[in-house]
């Protein structure tokens, strides 16, 4: 079988659309009624999605990427008193994450306290690959990182050289990731906002 190794690592792609639809029906044979009905009603649109080429990409070491935008999602256990401290800190900041602006590749990020304040869920959308993204945090805003992450168990410190591995150890890669404008980086957004403003000013002057 000398020809098979080339295709063997991507067997899913060899499924035809009909086979995929068939597989969906099999999967949903034992689904709740709501799911079964939805599958039948939604088949036309679903078939379109199933027929499209793969839009799934990786963010390097871990995580998914779509176009230029990647996802990172970590669950970090709080140290004793960590939840209270971080909550107080976030309340004082009141939504002003100047440090994140300084990184320049962050689209959004959320801090969610889960399981009765025992864990922090941190999830972000960012540009590019995992490794340079974490490096950016380490070089551009190490203090802000330490202030925030010292509240979580086992955090080695942003300057220790071990922070990247620690984040990786706590990251759970998404099974699926959708981005509305996959080619719009944070930098390109800043450029377009400038262009938009300039065009409006120009039109005002002409008018």
Partner 1 sequence: MATQTATPTKPKQDSAVEQKIQELRELFADAPEMAKTGLEHALPSLMSQAAEAQASETGSAGRIGIRQGTVSELTVIAPFAPGGAKRLRAVLKLLNGNFSGGRKVGTLHNMRFVFLDNDTRFLFATAYDGQWDPYIDDFATKIPDEMDVIFSAFEGWPGIHSPKVKDWIVEHQIPAEGWYVAHPDLSVAEAGRLKHMGKAVDEFLDKLNE
Residues numbered 36 to 75 that lie near partner 1 (CB under 8 A) are: 37-39, 41-42, 45-46, 48-50, 52, 54-57, 64, 66, 69, 71, 73, 75
Least Å distance between CB 3 and partner 1? Answer: 24
Pairwise CA distance, residues 69 & 129, whole Å: 9
Stretch that binds partner 1, among 1-9, 21-29, 128-136, 162-170 (CB under 8 A): 21-29
Which pairing describes strands 119-127 and 57-58: parallel, antiparallel, or unpaired? unpaired
Backbone angles phi, psi at 113, to 5 degrees: -90, 120
Please choose, from the candidates 72, 58, 80, the residue with its C-alpha nearest in 3D space to the C-alpha of residue 103: 72
- Quick check: 138 binds partner 1 (CB under 8 A)? no
Structure tokens at 119: 């864990």
Q: What is the dihedral angle through the alpha carbons of 127, 178, 166, 147, rounded to the nearest 10 degrees?
A: 70
Residues 80-99 within binding reach of partner 1 (CB under 8 A) = 81, 84-99
Q: How far is the CB of 2 from partner 1 (least distance, A)?
A: 28
* Residue 76 lies near partner 1 (rule: CB under 8 A): no
Residue 132 interacts with partner 1 (CB under 8 A): yes or no: no
Q: Which two tokens stand for residue 90?
A: 């976030």
> Which position among 1, 6, 12, 204 is part of the footprint of partner 1 (CB under 8 A)?
12
| In the complex, least distance from residue 185 CB atom to partner 1, rounded to whole angstroms | 10
Quote the Cα angle for 24-27-32, to 5°: 110
Backbone angles phi, psi at 66, to 5 degrees: -125, 120
Question: Distance between CA atoms of 104 and 19, rounded to whole angstroms?
Answer: 43
Query: Least distance (Å) from partner 1 to the CB of residue 135?
Result: 18
- Give the interface segment with partner 1, choosing from 1-9, 109-117, 129-137, 161-169 (CB under 8 A): 109-117
Of residues 2 and 175, the one with the C-beta less far from partner 1: 175
Q: Please state the closest distance from residue 8 (CB atom) to partner 1, in A.
A: 17
């Amino acid at each position: 079988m000398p020809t098979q190794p080339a295709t063997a690592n991507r067997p899913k792609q060899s499924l035809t659309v009909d086979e995929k639809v068939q597989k969906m029906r099999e999967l949903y044979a034992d689904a709740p009624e709501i799911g079964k009905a939805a599958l039948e009603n939604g088949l036309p649109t679903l078939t379109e999605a199933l027929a499209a080429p793969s839009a799934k990409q990786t963010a390097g070491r871990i995580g998914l990427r779509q176009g230029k935008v990647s996802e990172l999602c970590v669950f970090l256990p709080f140290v004793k008193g960590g939840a209270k401290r971080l909550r107080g800190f976030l309340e004082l900041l009141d939504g002003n994450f100047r440090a994140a602006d300084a990184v320049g590749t962050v689209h959004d990020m959320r801090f969610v306290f889960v399981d009765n304040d025992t864990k922090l869920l941190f999830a972000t959308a960012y540009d590019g690959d995992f490794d340079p993204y974490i490096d950016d945090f380490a070089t551009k805003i190490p203090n802000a990182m330490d202030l925030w992450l010292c509240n979580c168990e086992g955090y080695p410190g942003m300057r220790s050289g071990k922070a990247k591995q620690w984040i990786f150890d706590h990251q759970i890669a998404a099974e699926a990731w959708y981005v509305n404008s996959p080619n719009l980086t944070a930098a390109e957004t800043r450029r377009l906002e400038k262009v938009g403003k300039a065009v409006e000013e120009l039109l005002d002057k002409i008018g």
